[in-house]
């Protein structure tokens, strides 16, 4: 067994509420035995709890197999029996390359949009100790370093919506036991050796899984210590603007240790550029050397400009700037992997979330002009700016605020700045 026997109890039934602060929950249920175990576990725990937390369920139909539609219907029927609202979400264009990684990204985007539109704060997944061991093994094989060896995070964020994985300490057979008397489906891709995770899963035995979990737990402790130092630096020295910019006093940056400096930039650059991964350590070091020398620098889609004793960080404009995204009134849309917008109901068809571009002078001039162009703006179909209030959220703010232990809830933000 990968965990102590008493861990078989649902996390919401133990000691302090594992979901404290999570708000309404959206359970991501595919219909497999793991996610069905989560569904029955949390549905039963919720029914016996005095907590009136709202729970809804979503199934993503990837369209990769003919059976996917009937599997979503099976989950919907199970939810109806439990008295839970169910949503079937469809991926319109299934990925052809990097199937598992790209399908995962599309899945979380749909889940986050559903959660936001339904007023739910947290997505809950059924990742368990077996998944954690496999992840550590793969990252060990790829020499991912401390960040990789720490494995799957219990708490994370996608498109501004929290993600909670409460079953990471539970063995897969224990999680599946909650759905022993209920329906579930068998996805053949879980046995397809073309995928690295499947090959790793089939190669591991209980002893190696236990060792990998211990390694991951130790790496996670060390990662947390480093993050605490970086988080304190964010709280003490960084100004984070809802326009997707950050400012750090040059003197403060220069006074930090090289490791802390590089770690801080590793957090800020992906948040500002909208990228999924931290740049390599060596690239961060070169970027910092040029920045501290006040030469200006770019890194992974982020540009640094020194002005009046501050290092300003913003999205690099590039040759043409980010592509606009069409908005549907009342629905959420993600632009440039940096901002999410719930479009106002009054917007006409054809309106977009786009870059401020040549309208950059509408923003405070404290921000260097070269960094203002990539700020977001809602535009009418004719290209003119929408001036009314709108929910435009910088996803990097939510990412950094969560890492720094702060709330990511900062309310609506006007479509453009005024001078």
pLDDT in tens, 198-229: 999 999 999 999 999 999 999 999 988 888 88
- Kindly state whether residues 153 and 20 are assigned to the same domain: yes
Question: What pTM does this model have?
Answer: 0.85
Which residues span the domain enclosing 84? 5-219
Q: State whether 203 and 265 are in the same domain.
A: no
Cβ within 8 Å of residue 47, ≥6 positions away: none
pLDDT value for 367: 93
Higher-pLDDT residue of 181, 29: 29
Residue 263 lies inside a defined structural domain of this protein: yes
Is the domain of 289 the same as that of 164? no
Average of pLDDT values for 60-64? 82
Question: Mean pLDDT for the chain?
Answer: 86
Tell me: do 320 and 394 sit in the same domain.
yes
Q: Is the pLDDT of residue 151 over 90?
A: yes
Cα–Cα distance list, 156 to 189, 238, 300 (Å): 26, 21, 22
* Rounded CA separation 174/7 (Å): 9
- Please, which residues have CB within 8 angstroms of residue 42's CB and are 6 or more apart in sequence? 10, 12, 25, 27, 55, 124
* The pLDDT value given to residue 408: 46
132: Cα separation from own chain's centroid: 17
Residues 315 and 414 placed together within one structural domain of the fold: yes
- Is the predicted pLDDT of residue 20 greater than 70, yes or no? no
Query: Is there a domain that residue 205 lies in?
Result: yes
pLDDT of 170 over the 70 cut: yes
């Amino acid at each position: 067994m990968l965990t102590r026997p008493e861990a078989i109890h649902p996390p919401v039934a133990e000691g302090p509420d594992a979901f404290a602060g999570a708000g309404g929950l959206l359970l991501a249920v595919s219909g497999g035995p793991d996610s069905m175990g989560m569904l029955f576990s949390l549905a039963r725990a919720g029914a016996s709890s005095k907590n009136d937390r709202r729970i809804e369920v979503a199934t993503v139909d990837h369209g990769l197999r003919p059976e996917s539609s009937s599997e979503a219907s099976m989950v919907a029927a199970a939810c109806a029996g439990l008295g839970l609202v169910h949503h079937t979400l469809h991926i319109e264009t299934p990925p052809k390359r990097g199937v598992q990684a790209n399908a995962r990204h599309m899945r979380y985007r749909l889940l986050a949009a559903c959660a936001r539109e339904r007023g739910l704060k947290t997505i809950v997944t059924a990742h368990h100790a077996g998944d954690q061991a496999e992840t550590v093994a793969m990252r060990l094989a790829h020499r991912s370093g401390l960040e990789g060896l720490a494995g799957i995070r219990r708490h994370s964020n996608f498109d501004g919506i929290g993600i909670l994985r409460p079953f990471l300490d539970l063995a897969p057979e224990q999680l599946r036991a909650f759905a022993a008397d209920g329906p579930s489906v068998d996805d053949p891709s879980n046995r397809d050796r073309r995928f690295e995770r499947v090959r790793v899963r089939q190669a591991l035995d209980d002893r190696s899984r236990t060792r990998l979990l211990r390694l991951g737990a130790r790496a996670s402790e060390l990662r947390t210590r480093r993050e605490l130092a970086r988080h304190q630096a964010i709280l003490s020295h960084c100004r984070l603007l809802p326009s997707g910019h950050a400012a750090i006093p040059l003197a403060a940056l220069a006074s930090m240790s090289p490791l802390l400096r590089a770690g801080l930039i590793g957090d800020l650059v992906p948040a500002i550029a909208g990228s999924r991964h931290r740049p390599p350590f060596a690239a961060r070091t070169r970027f910092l050397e040029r920045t501290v020398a006040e030469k200006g620098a770019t890194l992974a889609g982020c540009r640094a400009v020194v002005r009046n004793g501050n290092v300003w960080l913003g999205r690099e404009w590039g040759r043409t700037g980010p592509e606009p995204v069409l908005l549907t009134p009342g629905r959420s849309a993600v632009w440039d992997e940096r901002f999410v917008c719930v479009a106002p109901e009054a917007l006409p068809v054809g309106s977009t979330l786009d870059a401020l571009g040549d309208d950059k002078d509408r923003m405070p001039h404290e921000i260097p002009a070269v960094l203002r162009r990539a700020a977001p703006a809602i535009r009418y179909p004719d290209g003119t700016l929408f001036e009314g209030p709108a929910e435009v959220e910088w996803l990097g703010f939510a990412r950094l605020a969560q890492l720094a232990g702060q709330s990511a809830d900062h309310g609506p933000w006007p479509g453009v700045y005024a001078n």
